[in-house]
Structures are given as C-alpha cells and as structure tokens.
Amino acid sequence: MTDSDLAESQLRSLMRDPDMTRRGFAVASLATGFAMAVRPVSAQTITTDTTGIVAGEVKIPVADGTVPAYRSHPATGKDWPTVLVIQEIFGVHEHIKDLTRRLAKLGYYAIATELYARQGDPSKYTEIPKLFTEVVSKVPDAQVLSDLDASVAFAKSEKANTSKLGVTGFCWGGRQTWLYTAHNPAVKAGAAWYGQLAPRADRPAPAGVVNPIDVADKIKGRVLGLYGGADEGIPQTSVEAMREALKKAGDTKTKIEVYPDTPHAFNADYRPSYRPEQAKDAWAKMLSWFKQNGVA
C-alpha cells in the first residue's frame, strides 16, 4: 500500500469530530529523528545544518490546548515571509524538520505543526497501514485547518510577515495544501506535492468529504501542483480532471507540473522513491512560484 493509497483511503474513513475541545493530546513533543515506519533511511538523505538560522521545537496555542511544531527562520532580522510546511503521513519527523531549515536558509520563516497531536504519535508505528488506521484516518480536516490558522497566528507573534504567506505539503500534506489555500484567502501561494486531487473511479469518496477538485473555484490561481507521472496512487485521470475543474472555474494561472516516469514521494530523499533530478527541479519551481506570487 503506497502513501497515496493511504491518503485516498483516508477520504473514505475520515472522522469529523465537531467537539474537538473534549479530546486530549496524545503528542506533547515532537519525536527525534525519522519515523519508525521509514527506517532504515537512505544514504541519500539530506541533512541541513543550523548555521545562520534559528531552528527548534515550539508550542502552538490552539483552541483546546497546545500542539508541538518545528520552526526555522534566519538568525537575524524579522519580517520574514512565512511558509507553512504540511507533513506527510509520518508526521513532523526529521525530513519535514529539515525542509523547514532549507527554507530558513533562503530567508523564510518556515513552520511545520504536528497535525496529529490529538490522535497519536506517528513516529512510533512500524507498519504504515496500522499508522493510517489508528492515527491518520482519525484526523478531521476541520482540525487541520484550525491548527494551520493557529500556526499563522503564532508566526505573526514571532515577527514573521504573514501578509507574505505560502504553504507547501507532501502526500497527505499535499491534499491539505490545496484545501488550506481554498480555506484561507490570505495564502499568496501554495505548492502541493503529490497530494490526492479527486476520488478514483474504483474508490468513490463518501458523502461529505471534500477533495481539492471540489474547491477548485476557490483556489484562485494560487497553487502549483507537483506530481509524478508514474504515481500509482494518483492516476493521470485525476490530474486531468483537476485541470478541467480549474479551467471551468476560470482559473488560468494555477499550474500542475507532471514529471514523466516519476513515482510518488519523489522529493523524499530518505526513501527509495527519491528522484534527485526531479526533486531539485520541482523545488526550484516551488521557490519561483512563491516569488512570483508575493511570498518572498
């Protein structure tokens, strides 16, 4: 079962809990290193140092308590453009932390909030299907959107420039990137890496579940989609359907880049799916997209 298969399955079993205030918090602090489900990590894994930046764990005040997050920003100055970094299904483990450091080296305030904090600790699971069933599938979209709003408020409290707001996410976080951009009109630009776009013909989503294709009219030209042409969990029919929905909504600016013969999770340098050439090109396109749309 691939990550994108799991993300699609999430749409089938997503629990929506309208009373988040009664839930406890399963995760008070971020895990160290990589999630158990992805070990051993690849020799190609990129590690970004903290020279010239401030990086570490913080606590984000939310409606029902606090959730942990990892944030990085330049060591000097303030008023940095802000980028929300949305996790894969494995939570905010070392790869996601490293992505925030890479962005900080480029002058951004980047923050990755642990969006499963109430449901469980993804770092402890060794089996991806069990992680999905027991944690990921129980995370409501409403909770995610609310926690991301809180993350923006926290960034502002740390003197980041949230009027220059970007968002990027990977797999599970790729889908959430589309949804958050539709949710928050203050987002200037988003970069969605291989996130589900629409229900598959063989896996219809249950009633009430929102897919990126359902909010195409709210994207308003702000998202760059980055996808692999050989992604078994996200068929090209879904990509074409999303393009058509954007066109129907009058959106001529949003772009979806597809890398031929490229698998899911091609930016995950700690996994066998990593494709350095495509990842480097997509990262450069994301940075250019941010700059073109006021996140710089």
Residues carrying an active site annotation: 171, 231, 264
Residue type, 88: E
Q: Which of 29, 232, 12 is nearest to 132 (CA)?
A: 12
85 and 169 Cβ atoms separated by less than 8 Å: yes
Q: For residues 245 and 24, what is the distance between their CA atoms, to the nearest angstrom?
A: 39
| Residue 147 structure tokens | 């926690």
| Residue 82 structure tokens | 């802000």
Where does residue 25 rank: exposed (0-12), middle (13-18), buried (19+ CB within 10 A)?
Answer: middle
DSSP letter assigned to residue 64: T
Q: For residues 243 and 245, what is the distance between their CA atoms, to the nearest angstrom?
A: 5
DSSP letter assigned to residue 129: H
Q: For residues 222 and 129, what is the distance between their CA atoms, to the nearest angstrom?
A: 33
Q: In which residue are the tokens 């770092």 written?
A: 123
Residue type, 83: V
- E-state strands within the chain: 53-62, 65-74, 81-86, 109-113, 161-170, 187-193, 223-228, 255-259
First to last CA, the chain: 38
What backbone phi and psi angles, to 5 degrees, belong to 138? -100, 10
**Pairing state between β 223-228 and 65-74:** unpaired
DSSP letter assigned to residue 33: S
Q: In which residue are the tokens 């707001």 written?
A: 165
